[in-house]
Structure 1
């Protein structure tokens, strides 16, 4: 039986103290040392969240990468002086448990961790 990927993300713009709405995000999985993109790319909602990633293949476990298109987000805010045009977070899913990968973002830095 195929397992459903249980993965979500949340972006908080720490320089503004609020969620980062409308950030394009893409999910990739490493399959035989090649990054395969998930069928869906999406944007964060008004709370800076996205929670409906689709499986890349019929397995849940593996090495994944979420790409956050931060340049477009900052351009919309009129913030043109930034360091990261995009941010890629690479992580490993080892079980069918839920994984939450938050991003704390500013124009010149970011942080991440495994949330709940």
Structure 2
């Protein structure tokens, strides 16, 4: 597909609780065409596939968006990432709990779903800044 007739998407994740890229997070990409559901004209979401973040926290092989895409959804499966991170931290600090202050071992947001509008021919880089109890996203460059 020509980049002039469709939008493109990239993403990366930074774990702000440790100041490092979040590796191994599953990311799924979906798309739809038409206006949003609140206008009653939105199409159904179409799952396009996915990838996982590399050691640099980036997904370098997300599927290409089909022509006519107007909305994109990125689903980040972050719970498994934090479970692995907690285990690594606990193993490194064998005599201390992984989360001393709160005693919590669960992730507050097990999944993060980001939905955004796109225009054909533009590239959308959507970074996710993540920690066990919150997240932030923005349109990057």
Shorter-normalised TM range: 0.7 to 0.9
TM alignment of 1:50-89, pairs within 5 A: 50-57=59-66, 59=67, 61-78=69-86, 80-89=105-114
- 1:46 equivalenced with 2:55 (yes/no): yes
Unmatched runs of 5 consecutive residues or more in structure 2: 34-41, 88-104
Distance 1:49 1:12, change over 3 A: same
* Match 1:20 to one of 16, 19, 22: 22
Distance 1:60 1:14, change over 3 A: farther
Alpha-carbon separation, structure 2, partners of 1:3 and 1:27:
19
Alpha-carbon separation, structure 2, partners of 1:108 and 1:82:
7
* CA-based RMSD: 1.7
Larger strand proportion of the pair: 1
Instruction: Give 1:86 shift.
Output: 0.4
* Paired position in structure 2 for 1:3: 2
Larger helix proportion of the pair: 2
Unmatched runs of 5 consecutive residues or more in structure 1: none
Instruction: Give 1:85 shift.
Output: 1.0
TM-score (normalizing by structure 2):
0.73
TM-score (normalizing by structure 1):
0.88
Q: State the secondary structure of the residue aligned to 2:127.
A: strand
Aligned pair count? 113
Q: Which runs of 4+ in 1 moved over 6 A?
A: none
Q: Is the 8 A contact 1:3 1:60 kept in 2?
A: no
- 1:115 equivalenced with 2:132 (yes/no): no
* Rg larger in structure: 2
